[in-house]
Amino acid sequence: MTPRIELRPSPHVVKGASVEHIMFHVVLALLPIATFSVWQYGLSALALIVVVTLACIASERLFNRLSGKPSTLSDWSATITGLLLALTLPPSFPLWMGAVASFTAIALGKALFGGIGCNVLNPALVGRAFVQAAFPVAITTWVPAFAPRRFSEFVPTTFTAPLMTPPDIAAWALQAKSVLDGFTGATPLARWKFENVLATPADLLSGAVTASAGETSALLILLCGAYLAARKFMDWRIPVADLGSAALTALVFQMIDPARYPDPLFVLLSGGLMLGAVFMATDMATSPVTPKGVWLYGALIGVVTVMIRYFGGLSEGVMYAILIGNALSPLIDQVTQPKVFGAVKGKKA
């Protein structure tokens, strides 16, 4: 028998990396953060993470069906979108609103552009931006971390019926107040901005503050990010540029008016900057590909984040900063094309 001869174009060997492989490791890196969030906020956080992630997966499947394409669930990207989205929402966020955010993320953020790789904006942030505008109260309603009864009962808002006003959570939050001093129902950034009270770095590092589900432990996020960077599943230059430029901008402002502006450490550790810099700004599809472009993009997000925090109407600026960076990244790519081998600088080859 004559053996079958296979014909393929060169190169005939590949490195063995695959989209599946990269995305799966991002999911792995997100799991410790999600677990920590559940430990901090209890059942409500668990329910939110599960529902939002499953809703993203279901939406992805729906759009696969509608477009008549094979399922893309195996590439894990919808799972990542779901996890990230859940981690940026307040733990007490009503589940039905979370599902709306998921659907919007996949529909407007991803499927509309043609699926994985084609999206211009980070899908998770598109989803979050939508619910930020649609449900401004729910998305700024915070619960205390480490509430004593967090594993025995849900936060009342979690099971709000769709289209109904969420119940008041003051009574639920009160249980924590007896244990934890000073719970005010506002994030450290909001407290700094509107009440001029600064949280301590120790609280920020350990997560003993009110915040979105997955934003609280800067240390854990950095560790998981370091894992991804070490395995080369993430471009380390983006978080370095992002955090570096944010710190630098904060430092400049602090030198101008130390009484008014907080120290760079507070800026780095508070809010969603760490999660955004490590897991969202680094989304491959929506960040530039050129080496110079990557640095520029990271730095831009850092500066815009601080600007929004200091001068914008919102207390948090990471989401819009990254979305702005995403929108600009095609342009950044255009103006930072690498130098062609042998070409003389400044002269068109």
Partner 1 sequence: MSLFPFFRRKTFSRGVHPDANKRTAGSPIRRMPFASRMILPLAQHIGKPAVPLVRAGEEVVRGQPIARADGFLSVPLHAPADGVIEAIELKPSARGPWVESLVLRVYEASTQEVRWANPCDVESLSPKEILQAIQDSGMVGLGGATFPSHAKLSVPAEHKIHTLIVNGCECEPYLTCDHRLMLEHPADLMVGVRLAMRAIGAERAIIGVEDNKLDAVAAIRECLPADSSITVQVVPTKYPQGAEKMLIKSLLDLEVPPGKLPMQVGVVVNNIGTLAQLGQLLPAGQGLTERVVTVTGPGIKKPGDYWVPIGTPMRTVLEWAGAADSGEREIILGGPMMGQAVASLEVPVTKGVPGILVFDQLQIEAARQVWPCIKCGECVNACPMGLNPSMLGMLAVQREYEEMGTHYHLGDCFECGCCTYVCPSHIPLVQQFRVAKGVLRGKAA
Which residues of this chain interact with partner 1, rule CB under 8 A?
Answer: 1, 3-19, 21-22, 75, 114-118, 235, 284-291, 294, 333, 337-344, 349
- What 8-state DSSP symbol labels residue 130? H
By the 8 A CB rule, do 91 and 68 touch?
no
Residue 228 CB, nearest distance to partner 1 (Å)? 12
Residue 20 or 195 with smaller CB distance to partner 1:
20
Interatomic CA distance for residues 167 and 159, integer angstroms: 10
The residue type found at 181 is D
Q: Measuring CA to CA, which residue among 245, 338, 260, 341 is closest to residue 297?
A: 245
Residue 342 CB, nearest distance to partner 1 (Å)? 4
Residue 69 or 260 with smaller CB distance to partner 1:
69
**Which burial class, exposed, middle or buried, applies to 206 when counting CB atoms under 10 A from its CB (0-12, 13-18, 19+)?**
middle
Residue 4 or 161 with smaller CB distance to partner 1:
4
- SS3 assignment, position 190: helix
Measured in degrees and rounded to the nearest 5, phi and psi for residue 316 equal -120, 140
CA 68 to chain centre: 30
Residue 115 or 127 with smaller CB distance to partner 1:
115
Residue 344 CB, nearest distance to partner 1 (Å)? 7
- What 8-state DSSP symbol labels residue 216? S
Residue 213 or 238 with smaller CB distance to partner 1:
238
Say how many CA atoms lie within 13 Å of 47 toward its Cβ: 21
Residue 233 or 253 with smaller CB distance to partner 1:
233
Measured in degrees and rounded to the nearest 5, phi and psi for residue 221 equal -60, -45
Residue 56 CB, nearest distance to partner 1 (Å)? 17
Residue 15 or 163 with smaller CB distance to partner 1:
15
Q: Measuring CA to CA, which residue among 329, 186, 295, 192 is closest to residue 250?
A: 192
Residue 291 CB, nearest distance to partner 1 (Å)? 7
Residue 283 CB, nearest distance to partner 1 (Å)? 9
Interatomic CA distance for residues 337 and 85, integer angstroms: 32
Residue 11 CB, nearest distance to partner 1 (Å)? 3
